[in-house]
Each structure stands twice: as structure tokens, then as C-alpha cells.
Structure 1
Amino acid sequence: MSSTIPTEPHRKALIGSPSNFWLHSSKNGFDLTHPSVHSSPVTGPTHIIQTSTEPITIDPSKSALIIIDMQNFFLSEAFGRDQKGPGHAACKQLAAHAIPAARKASIRVIWVNWGLTEEEVGNMPPAVKRAFGFFSIPADVDFKADDAFGHHEESISVDRHGKENQSFYRGIGADCGTLKFPDGKTVEGGKLLMRDSWNAALQPPLDAIFDEGSKLESKPDVWIHKNRMSGMWGSTTPLKEFLDKEGIRTLFFTGVNTDQQWI
């Protein structure tokens, strides 16, 4: 007597809401092409990506590669960063594989980086400032009205728990001073995570890769400043505004600090 293995029935599902939904097929995996209505056929090209669980189908015109925080502050030897750590492993994978593949597939590449203004630093809530350390002064010294929340001559750098450390900076917006590389070369670090500072610039070779991508005639790379750990922390941010304007719905997060992007 021959035996037969029962076949699972083909099933489909709609997940989400009428304005934002995924399609799922037990045969084909998840459909993230985001048609206007679930019954509408996709008119443009699509790509099927095999994941560690199920395949996903995407519309490249509605997708973006989001590269997070690949900046000198998080990656440079001048800040004591491990050159064999996960950040540099991500840098190599981005340069060799992810960015070329995204451009070949006509997927937008968006670089999301810390880039603060003086106004943003002045209005930064304490919970965010604490994460990057802060300055501390002797208990018998008074805070002056004009420098209570800024640099103080008698201050020392402390970690987020208030313990003295030997870091190169005293919190967000503080001057990092002159930094030294292992080979003896020096660089002016600039104010921590402020726009146009060396510490907030992209780590080589990504700086050159962005410069090349920003000059593409079709779908040039985009640089978007953020002022929190996440680029999507509020009801609206520059990143969200750009995604909405461009109709981008599917995001591939890469880089460092990717776990913080929904905080």
C-alpha cells in the first residue's frame, strides 16, 4: 500500500489596514509591494528576496536602503573604536554588497546621521543628553546663569552614570578637541554630533561612496540629519517627511545602532 504525504492548502492573508497592508501567501511568502488596493496588480518591476524565514516581494520604487550612523564618532580609531568590531564589519558589507545591490535594483539609498544645530542642542531633553555622557563640576562651585547648561572651566567628563571617565568629549554639543590616531596623526574632532563637524562626517570609504551616489542622475543618494537616536522618533521628522513625499514604504535598515530606530 502506498502512502501519500498530505499537502498543505494554499492560503492567503491581508495584514494591516486599508491604508497600510501586506499580502501573504503560504506559497510565495510576504508581498510588500504596497499596491493602492489589495486587488490591484503591480505595474512596475518587483524583486523577490529570500530571507532566513520566508521570501518577500518588494517594489524597488517604494523601497529604500537606510544606512544609520556610519559616522566617525561611532567608528573612528581616533575615538578608540574597535576596527574589528561589528560597525566595521557592517561598513565592509555595505561597501562591497548592500549599496551596489541597492543601486543596481533601483532602490533608493538614504544616509541617516546625527547632525545637530545649536538650537537642537539647546533644546535637547536630559534623557538624550545623558546617553552620551555629560560634564560635572565640584559640588562647592555654583552654576552660573550663562553657562549652567554648557561648558564649564572646572568640569570633568563623566559617563551616563555620573562616574568620571577618560572620554574625548563632555556630551552632545561639547567640543571633542584634538584627537589622535594610533599612527600619531591628529584631527580636530569638532563639537560632538554637530553638523559639518569631523566627528559627524561619514567614515571612509563611505564618505566617497555617498559623494558618488549623491551625483547619480536617477535616484541620487540622500543625506538626512536626525536629532535623536531614531530618525523616526516623533509624529514627523525629516526622514518621515522624505519617505512620505517619495512614497517609500519598505525600509531595509543597516549600519550601526539599527536597534534604536523606532525609539
Structure 2
Amino acid sequence: MNDFTGLRALVTGGASGIGRATAALLAARGAAVAVLDADTTAVGEPFLPVRADVTDDASVRAAVTAAVAGLGGLDILVNNAGIGAQGTVEDNDDAEWHRVLDVNVVGMVRVARAALPHLRRSRHAAIVNTSSVAATAGLPQRVLYSATKGAVQSLTLAMAADHVREGIRVNCVNPGTVDTPWIGRLLDRAPDPAAERAALEARQPTGRLVTAEEVAAAIAHLAGPYSGATTGTSLAVDGGMQGLRLRPAGQP
């Protein structure tokens, strides 16, 4: 497929996981892609690496300016950079709440704010934010992370309303548990990594973790020129985790 030929995309958090898979897919389908990350040492061709700390507005603005200059414009923003958090409402102090909200929510705001003037000049402008099933399903030990992803989903809807008449579509994806390096590190810290992985797989009706490539395909769908009538939408890529209620295996 070459449906992204001639389009220019910026993917945040693009050095690994969902972001890396998304950057690779967009490039394979014809887009020129810049990858924004805090560490771009592993980002090679065909991508344009731009380093930024999404918690620093000046850093973000400089990186977006560099990306637009290198790409020759901007049509697509994939707002994917984010970090995880564990615990109940009692387990994280104010500093941790501020840190995770600053990356997962305000970080997206900073990047979008810097990108919007360039997106307004595009005939195929689209923003796709990465939210999570944690925005719509109550998951144990994820209250801080869930709060940030719920904010991302609401942010997406409000942005879609604000910018639809400017020709800028805004959507989000809500992945389930994705087999990424972050999940790998989480499993490594568990007392029994194999049992923890089995538990994560079992809570998804498909019985397996979501792949980064599956989320990337959903992002490409929302960002692509054939989705011109889609805005303000949250697309679940969660193996049925949010919507399905299965009986125990073996029961009719």
C-alpha cells in the first residue's frame, strides 16, 4: 500500500514499542516520518530523528520546528509518547502524580500546540493520540495511569470539536495490554514473570497480548486519507477486553 505517499508524519515516543511500529508502518506505506523521542540514538534511516523532552515546552517547539523543516511540512501527528505508573490512589505521592500527568497529558498538549500551525496548512491533517483501555475499564493497581489516559480520551474529543472546521481530524486509539519493552520490564520485576504474563494474557478475551503492529495498523487507519469522515473517535485495539464478557472456558 502507498496511501501515505507524499504525506509527512511526526511520531512521538517513536524510538520503541507502539511508536516504533507506527513509524515503520507509515514509512512502509509511503510517508516521510520524523521520530521524536527523549533518546533517538537507536533511530536510523529512513526516519528523521528529533530529540525532545515532552515535559519541556522549548524543547518540544524546537523539535517540531526541526521536524517540519526536515520533512518539508506536516500532515500527521501521532501523539504517542507516554510512561506507565502502578499503584492504588494511596501509593503515589504528589510528585509522581505531577510527573506522570506532565508526560502523558500535558506532554501531548505541548506537542499538539507546537504542531497545529503546521497542520493547518495541510489538506490531510490528522492527529492520533494514544490512550488506553485503562481510560474505559477499571484496572487494579493502575489508578494514576488510568487517570492520565482518561484525560487523553477527553482531550481527544475536545480537540476534535475545536479543530474540525479547520480541516484537522483528531482521534485516539485505546490499546489493551501491548507486548512492548515497557511491559517486558514490568514482567521482569514481578516475583513470577511467567505467571504474571499468563495473568495479563488471560484477562484479554483473545487470550494473548496485543502486538505493537496491531496498534500501529489502527493508528494508520485513523491517520490515513481514506478516513476523512472519522474524527472524535476512540478505536479500541484490546482483544475485546473492554466490550466482551465471556463465560469461563468450557461453559456454553
TM-score, normalised by the number of residues in structure 1 = 0.32
- Structure number with higher strand proportion: 1
Which structure carries more relative contact order (alpha carbon 8 Å, separation 6+)? 1
- Structure number with higher helix proportion: 2
Between structure 1 and structure 2, the one with the greater Rg is 1
TM-score, normalised by the number of residues in structure 2 = 0.33
